[in-house]
Amino acid sequence: MLVVLAAGVLHAIWNAIAKQLTDQLIAFALIGVAATAIGGGVLIFTGLPYKTAIPFACGSAVLHIAYEAGLMSSYKLGAFNQTYPIARGTSPLVVAVGAYVFANERLPFLATCGIVILATGIVILALSSGKLNRADRPAVIAAVLTGLAIASYTLVDGLGVRHSHHDPYAYGALLFMLQGPVFPLVALKRRTRRQWGPPPSVIKGLLAGAISLVAYGAVLWAQTKAPLAEVAALRETSVISAALIGTFVFKERFGRKRVTAAVLVATGIILIAV
């Protein structure tokens, strides 16, 4: 539980770094460079995962690329405090249903209640500024589609890492190396060398990539130790970190509704952990 909670904080941090960079394509390209380099380096030492896990890693790489494309669109269209919670909040209940259907996982009653309360808190946090207007709809749609991609790759990776004989390191390294090169190649074609930005921005993007790998590597490890739905739900507590980052870094409002939502999220965590 502690590892997944820490992973959630790291996840919010790398997303905030990506949001801060002006050119989102360059941001995710730099993250991809880090993923390719680190994934390839780790794979040299671990070797490929067990053969039955490789199709899962390939499928997950496609879903991760779709997720990053959706996240990129969300950050272009909407505020961090709005799009991030919606994207993350769509996932837990979808994962719970998917884990029940595909992984034959039966959650205790309190854990099920915790997932529902947690998802409710995340939705309230996302809609805390009031009703959605027409201008917000494109960002919300992109965020929801991103959330569905999150749920999909979470399920695929949860099954894949178990097919790898519970070896999250080889599985994760292969996944990162497969998904990493896509956006760097796209950026090389669409951006000039000068558009990649000054060295500080490049360092920030590479740092975000390294943090994202540590965060998701921790999640893969946790999926070998705990039910998929519980891991997915606990990871989404990153919205609390995102709300704080939105308030103090992006100067976004943190009102009464967001405080209430944070309490619901904390309550969900307690029920899941019981």
Domain total for the chain? 1
Exposed, middle or buried: residue 22 (CB in 10 Å: 0-12, 13-18, 19+)?
Answer: exposed
Task: Give the number of other Cβ atoms within 10 Å of residue 24's Cβ.
Answer: 18
Q: Is 209 helix (H, G, I), strand (E, B) or coil?
A: helix
Q: Which residues contact 11 (CB under 8 A, 6 or more apart)?
A: 212, 215, 216, 235, 238, 241
Helix axes 238-248, 2-20, angle to 10 degrees: 40
- Measured between alpha carbons, how far is residue 45 from residues 95, 160, 163, 206 in Å? 32, 20, 19, 22
H-state helical runs in 127-198: 137-163, 168-179, 182-190
Residue holding tokens 């103090």?
248
Q: Which residues contact 117 (CB under 8 A, 6 or more apart)?
A: 264, 267, 268, 271
Structure tokens at 244: 């704080």
The tens place of each residue's pLDDT in the chain, 274 residues long, gives 899 999 999 999 999 999 889 899 999 999 999 999 999 999 999 999 999 999 999 999 999 999 999 999 988 888 887 788 888 888 877 887 788 788 788 778 888 898 889 888 888 877 766 666 677 788 888 988 999 999 999 999 999 999 998 899 999 999 999 999 999 999 999 998 888 888 899 999 999 999 999 999 999 999 998 888 888 888 888 888 887 888 788 877 766 777 787 788 888 887 876 6
Structure tokens at 59: 């499928």
pLDDT on residue 55: 97
The pTM for the full model equals 0.87
Q: 182 lies in which domain range?
A: 2-273
